[in-house]
Structure 1
Amino acid sequence: MENPILQTIRTRRSIKLNHLKPDPVPQEIIDQALEAANWAPSHGETEPWRFTLFTGEARHNLGQLFAEAYELSAIESHPFKPETAEAQRARATQAPVWISIGMTPALHPNGDRKKPRDEEIMAVACAIQNLHLALTTHGICGKWTSGTVAVHPHIAQAIGLTPPSELLGFFYCGYPAIHWPDSIRQPWQNKITTYGQPNPN
């Protein structure tokens, strides 16, 4: 009999926005996934993950933030294109659920970090994996997106992630409109170096 946790891990998939159904995800399922995220490990129990949930009509507000962040980034690096701004605005409604991925570090009274920044980010990544696996058990796909717009300081400030907090991107999710995506991995044995004799079964 296969380990059910391993089966869920093997089943988990990332998915493109245009491969999602518009069907809403029940709030109970979202809440379960967020609770799963909250049980991630963190060094010193700092629990640095912070999430903002966008569903329903609130996604239009998020789309506006995406468009504004694109415009600001275009000013900084490349020519502004109105059609790209509109695409950024529209993409927020392509998934029924968007969750901002924030990291708020634990600080000493003098403002110094209690733990290294990298460790806090690793803890957030563990939280997202928990969240994604919990959604997988309900037949829901998702993806962590972290492009220029998704981590822009304009959006971070708008949702209350002011320094030293950071916006690490967004996780969108929904029911797949396509056949559940296939995936493969190279054999895990090829990625392991072992010292000593294998333990008996």
Structure 2
Amino acid sequence: MRRVLVKANTRGYGRTFIEVLQEAQTAEEEGRPIAAAIVAALNGTGSARWWPTDAEITESFTTRRFYDGVLSRGRLRLLLSEIDRTLRAENMKTEQGQFDYDVLQIEHIMPRNWAANWPVDASDDAERIATQQHRRQHVDRIGNLTLITGSFNGSLSDSAWEVKRPALLQQSKLQLNSRIAATEIWDEDAITARAKELADITNGIWRSADAFAHP
């Protein structure tokens, strides 16, 4: 999953898995720790064995386009679902239960069609063009994406933040959305800050090789 999140290629996985299993078997025969042997094998040379660091995951989250970019929509839904499950498990004050995440839709918090209800603040044409480009770079990043029901999507998708924020708070039971709704201003800085937060959570769900080597 860590490799998927930085859009690493999947070529050579079959051979890599066999080699890692062989290293594990050798470690067992020699009485060495199997887990350490697997970590060492996965940390070997070659692009197929590259295990992205926490910093590389964070960089991907804060700079790459995730919607129709790094991940397919199915994998993007999986990522957001696992983050919400983690937040729910950590929050003892929230209701515990099962959610059918597969029926939820991926939503842009700041909409792709932002021009009407999310105007940019610029003093001249040059600044306006630069600001618009800066915004377009952020809209499809992971920090601007969440999960909602289809009915919510249809009614409020392109609404201004002043309308969308209370609706997220009142209509959604996802921990993902309660955190978003706590943000007073939703802009490019908020998107980047949330991307870093999601990266931290993700790094804890799918831990790095160093974390396994030094639990």
TM-score, normalised relative to structure 1? 0.35
- Return the structure number with greater relative CO, CA threshold 8 A, min gap 6: 1
Q: Which has the higher strand share?
A: 1
Structure number with larger C-alpha Rg: 2
TM-score, normalised relative to structure 2? 0.33
